[in-house]
A and B are shown apart, each in its own frame.
Chain A
Amino acid sequence: MKIIVAIKQVPERDARIRIDSAGKWIALEDIEFRMNESDAYALEEALLLREAHGGEVVVLSAGPERVGQTIREALAKGADRGIHIVSDALSGYDALGVASLMAAAIRDEAADLILTGLQSDDLGLGQTGVILAELLGICHASLILKIEKSDSGIRVLRELEDGWFQHIDMSTPALLTIQSGNTKLRYATLMGIKKAKTKDLRVVEAAALGVSATPCVLLDSVALPSRQKTTQMLTGTPAEAAAKLVEKLQQEVRVL
């Protein structure tokens, strides 16, 4: 089975968010980047499938040069090769634009399975994978926790609302968007890190893919959210704050 895994590099979860001077995006200067969380689970599922059934795992990422690090990390965990769509100007594309770049870069790969994360931890549209499936003319399922091979293709476990689940049978080629949390993630071994340096990494210039960057939707501005409720902040040393809270719980909330 040939599996492509789309991986987005995003600001680290605990990164301090400051708005840039134009008010259009966050200031990226002091930010550390990492692999998007659900993409790490997509990679893990792909590696497990390859271990069980053989085949090849190819990682795909679009972004500036720094994205190369995240691709190397995936190679170190065990992916066989990488494709890097290089662009410093992805903010000029919307999700359809980015998915079109990815479609153009992988169409000839004729993969059996394409896995993406469910949703990115930064812009969080939760759409790029599904859009890519439509562009490639293949079927998809989203919010997937588990993938098994079946006689006719694959059987996947999909999460539904409120603790419900469902199996879906589908043919391949197919695209699945993977939900976080269903397996334990592996770490890269020293050997893996060493090997990653020699693995094939195809670099494609976004501009060479013939995709128009005319977006359908534009992000005009970003802002820090305002509080809906007036939160009473209880200050002081931990013991002082705790004493204040206990007083509130006794006298105002009346639960003590």
Chain B
Amino acid sequence: MSTVLVFLEAKSGVPTRISLEAFAAAAQLAASSGAQLAAAMVGSASGPGFALLGGASQIFALEHLLLEHYTADGYTAAYAQLIARVQPDYVLFPHTYEVRDFAPRLATRLGRVLISDVTGFQASAGQILFMRQLFQGKLNGHYHAASPAPCLISVQAGAFRADAPAATSVPAATFAPELEASAIRTQPGEPFRAAAQTVDLASAPLLVSVGRGIKDEANIPLVQELATALGAELAASRPICDAGWLPMERQVGSSGQTVAPKLYLAVGISGAIQHLVGMKGSQCVVAINKDENAPIFEIADYGIVGDLFEVVPALTAAVRKAKG
């Protein structure tokens, strides 16, 4: 019987949310191709995370001193050995910063190419088509694997719904890869955070968020006035913070804050996935953008297609008037 093997990441011993989404994607893929589901995670087989993988008929706990801290060399070697043992048809990963880092290397070692950041799949004429976004979400592409098994896939955060964890029905087996300390060529340091936060965007009920459409630092007051009129905090997309026009603590997205306000008003933001993951839990999304095909409109409740330099001042005036 063929196998779909999914790799999970754990934090404090428990699979992360995106890992459980990848697990759900793997379960769907296994069901649609009549395969069995196998899951693997770094850690000790007796750890609590391994008890929540109901549905998997094989579970592997990858255990080795050299896997305690993530390194591309260590993970690539360990996973290559497990893949050689399991001989899966499909290998799934959550599309995380770690997976971005080592999975292309692993695929290359197997003579394959990872189909990265997949948002969905469908069976079509005896093969499986995988969807992923191109041009930062402005286009979708359908891919299929043209090489023999295994086919490697990483899935985008939020693309699959994680099921409620169910109790595991088979015991996790320890898989101890053969690793040499000398083969690990990088020495990772302890993770750290940048400067302390002084604004708490996550608790702000209203956010006005500004993107590269604002063009110049000198135009920031335009959106600041709108935020003030609404009683909202000001947030931004990454390029605005990279440029130093607003401090990094106001950045929303995968490398910034995750927010879920009552109102998220996106001004001149295109809606790249790394931005969307930080704000798509908002109750109401309003987008102002001059491009009617901007991906932000795909998740907006209300949209205004137009030049922000005309729309924003008009909106500020209308809000002031409404507030009296």
Contacts and interface: CB of A to CB of B under 8 A. Distances in A.
Interface stretch (B44-52, B162-170, B308-316): B308-316
Given A238-B310, A255-B263, A217 B113 contact: yes
A106 interface: no
Contacts of B112: 96, 216
Nearest to A10: B135
Interface stretch (B21-29, B85-93, B297-305): B297-305
B190 interface: yes
B244 to A, nearest CB: 9
Contacts of A122: 134-135
Contact of A234 (B140, B144, B191, B304): B304
B129 interface: yes
A20 B143 CA distance: 17
Given A162-B255, A163-B248, A225 B109 contact: no
Given A215-B146, A218-B144, A219-B141, A246 B134 contact: no
Nearest to A232: B302
Nearest to A255: B263
Given A134-B109, A229-B300, A217 B192 contact: no
A17 B134 CA distance: 11
Contact of A168 (B113, B189, B262, B291): B189
A138 to B, nearest CB: 8
Contact of B101 (A95, A142, A238): A142
A96 B113 contact: yes
Contacts of B146: 214-218
A164 B191 contact: yes
Given A134-B105, A140-B105, A180 B318 contact: no
Interface string B168-192: 0000000000000000011111111
A170 B242 contact: no
Contact of B139 (A139, A169, A223): A223
Contact of A127 (B113, B302, B303): B113
Contacts of A221: 141-142
Contacts of B291: 14
A242 interface: yes
Given A164-B193, A220-B142, A245-B304, A95 B113 contact: yes
Nearest to B119: A225
Name the residue in A131, A235, A245 with the highest tally of chain B Cβ atoms < 10 Å from its Cβ.
A245
Nearest to B296: A231
Nearest to B300: A231
Contact of A160 (B185, B186, B191): B191
8 contacts: A130-B101, A134-B105, A143-B97, A217-B147, A220-B129, A220-B144, A245-B304, A245-B315
Interface of A: 11, 14, 17, 19, 26, 94-96, 99, 121-127, 130-131, 133-135, 139-143, 159-171, 174, 180-182, 214-229, 231-235, 237-239, 241-243, 245-246, 248-250, 253, 255-256
Given A130-B104, A229-B299, A239-B317, 20 more contacts: A96-B112, A140-B101, A143-B100, A159-B255, A161-B255, A164-B192, A165-B192, A168-B186, A169-B189, A181-B239, A216-B145, A231-B298, A233-B304, A238-B307, A242-B304, A242-B315, A246-B321, A246-B322, A255-B263, A256-B230
